[in-house]
């Protein structure tokens, strides 16, 4: 790949990691990812914004081969996928100063052993002139680390947004060409990385909206030459409004929990409530995270293993607790062999979720008519709660 111009004097250096399938040994990357650095050439100075993951340091250095001099290297975020190749860049351009936020300074020194004397802290709102271009630094903490900042070039109305608005997509597309594809990838990214910080994200979006930009150049995925697309999506995801949706992660060992889950899905669907169910034996947790962005209700379906919930349910409950989705309601259903503390144990795993529990149905052994009647009542309670919150529109549905 070669560096490509996105504005006169600004080039995108996209290092595409086609084969990467896991981030942080946790987050699935079904479509790979890219690490985007940006080269800004002014009349009197040149700056490089961010670098790349160490796995693609050679690719980055190759794209920088024809560059004679870099005066400033901007580190917007200290995580490896942005900053990991900074030591190589600093070595290659020995007179370059590394510009970063106050909080990033210590992180870059401790995480990457960047030489202290190369680092220069820039303040929130501070500008550095490159001659006919200016870099203005905007602190945007907690998207998703505390030290993160964006960089704005007012002369070109260009905003380098770092992880903010990013999408994990391995692509040669410089700009967004397939909005639906990028929307899904960006929502997955938001759900997995940004969702726990949506209150501060709202403040950061407000702060950025004071700038006049017509291009957002993120560190992952294609550049937004129509930024409203992603700004509107983010505003929707962070809004307090929930949708008439249930997210139902479940797992079944001998089929009983599955029978209960399937009955519940039918009952909810008949009442006009949308359900996204995820079999935890085969789940893509990214898809589950996406579903949690808008849902009003979480229902967990679990068998009992040695008195507690199935280990896969432990995992997903802990994950939901970390992601802090909007969620207003919860419920638990499942089957057990001889005794169960699954409900109490799941409740203990989700202290961050401020949910009203609308019901629990725990069945010893095979479900029967009595079990299904309890599930119908649970579905009724959920639908009524969604209707009461005006999440459900339309007519002709029995509640």
The CB-of-105 to ligand FEO minimum distance in angstroms stands at 17
Give the separation between CA 231 and CA 226, rounded to whole angstroms.
9
The CB-of-81 to ligand FEO minimum distance in angstroms stands at 4
The CB-of-341 to ligand FEO minimum distance in angstroms stands at 37
> Smaller CB distance to ligand FEO: residue 23 or 237?
23
Give the separation between CA 161 and CA 38, rounded to whole angstroms.
11
Q: Are strands 274-279 and 243-250 parallel, antiparallel or unpaired?
A: parallel
* CB environment 172-208: b (16+ within 10 A), e (fewer): eebebeeeebbebbbbbbbbbbbbbbbebbeebbeeb
> Smaller CB distance to ligand FEO: residue 59 or 79?
79
> Smaller CB distance to ligand FEO: residue 75 or 317?
75
- List residues binding ligand FEO (CB under 6 A): 77, 79, 81-82, 144, 163, 219-220
> Smaller CB distance to ligand FEO: residue 20 or 133?
20
The CB-of-188 to ligand FEO minimum distance in angstroms stands at 13
Tokens at 344, concatenated: 């109490």
If you write DSSP's letter for every residue of 136-164 in order, what string do you get?
Answer: EEEE-TTSSSTT-EEEEEGGGTEEEEETT
Phi-psi region of 7 (alpha: psi -120 to 50; beta: other; left: phi over 0): beta
If you write DSSP's letter for every residue of 324-342 in order, what string do you get?
Answer: -----EEEEEEEESS---H
The CB-of-164 to ligand FEO minimum distance in angstroms stands at 10
> Smaller CB distance to ligand FEO: residue 219 or 363?
219
Find, among 133, 82, 134, 80, the residue nearest to 110 by Cα. 80
> Smaller CB distance to ligand FEO: residue 148 or 304?
148
> Smaller CB distance to ligand FEO: residue 31 or 79?
79
The CB-of-35 to ligand FEO minimum distance in angstroms stands at 8
* Backbone phi and psi for residue 388, each to the nearest 5 degrees, phi listed first: -60, -35
* Backbone phi and psi for residue 326, each to the nearest 5 degrees, phi listed first: -60, -50
Which residue's beta carbon is nearest to the bound ligand FEO? 79
The CB-of-194 to ligand FEO minimum distance in angstroms stands at 10
Helical H segments across 350-398, by residue range: 369-388
């Amino acid at each position: 790949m070669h560096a490509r111009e996105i504005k006169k004097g600004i080039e995108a250096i996209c290092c595409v990691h086609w084969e990467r399938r896991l981030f942080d040994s946790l987050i699935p990357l079904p479509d790979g990812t890219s690490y985007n650095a940006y080269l800004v050439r002014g009349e009197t100075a040149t700056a490089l914004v961010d670098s790349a993951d160490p796995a693609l340091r050679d690719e980055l250095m190759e794209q920088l081969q024809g560059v004679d001099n870099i005066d400033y290297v901007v580190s917007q975020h200290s995580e490896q996928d942005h900053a990991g190749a900074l030591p190589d860049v600093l070595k290659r351009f020995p007179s370059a100063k590394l510009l970063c936020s106050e909080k990033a300074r210590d992180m870059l020194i401790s995480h990457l052993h960047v030489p202290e004397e190369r680092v220069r802290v820039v303040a929130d709102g501070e500008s550095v002139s490159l001659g006919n271009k200016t870099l203005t630094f905007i602190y945007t903490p907690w998207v998703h680390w505390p030290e993160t900042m964006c960089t704005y070039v007012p002369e070109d109305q260009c905003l380098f947004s770092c992880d903010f608005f990013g999408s994990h997509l391995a692509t040669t597309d410089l700009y967004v060409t397939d909005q639906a594809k990028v929307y899904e990838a960006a929502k997955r990214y938001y759900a997995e990385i940004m969702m726990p910080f949506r209150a501060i994200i709202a403040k950061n979006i407000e702060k950025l909206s004071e700038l006049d930009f017509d291009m957002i150049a993120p560190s992952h995925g294609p550049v937004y030459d129509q930024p409203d697309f992603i700004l509107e999506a983010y505003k929707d995801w962070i809004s307090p409004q929930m949708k008439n949706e249930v997210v139902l992660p479940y797992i079944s060992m001998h089929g009983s929990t599955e029978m209960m889950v399937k009955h519940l899905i039918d009952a909810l669907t008949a009442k006009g409530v949308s359900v996204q169910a995820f079999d935890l034996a085969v789940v893509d947790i990214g898809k589950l995270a996406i579903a949690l962005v808008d849902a009003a209700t979480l229902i967990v379906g679990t068998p009992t293993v040695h008195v507690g919930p199935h280990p896969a349910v432990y995992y997903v409950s802990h994950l939901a607790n970390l992601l802090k989705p909007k969620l207003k309601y919860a419920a638990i259903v499942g089957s057990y062999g001889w005794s169960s503390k699954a409900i109490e144990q799941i409740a203990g795993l989700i202290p961050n979720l401020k949910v009203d529990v609308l019901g629990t149905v725990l069945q010893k052994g095979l479900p029967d008519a009595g079990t299904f009647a309890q599930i119908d009542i649970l579905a009724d309670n959920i639908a009524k709660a969604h209707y009461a919150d005006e999440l459900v529109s339309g007519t002709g549905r029995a509640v």
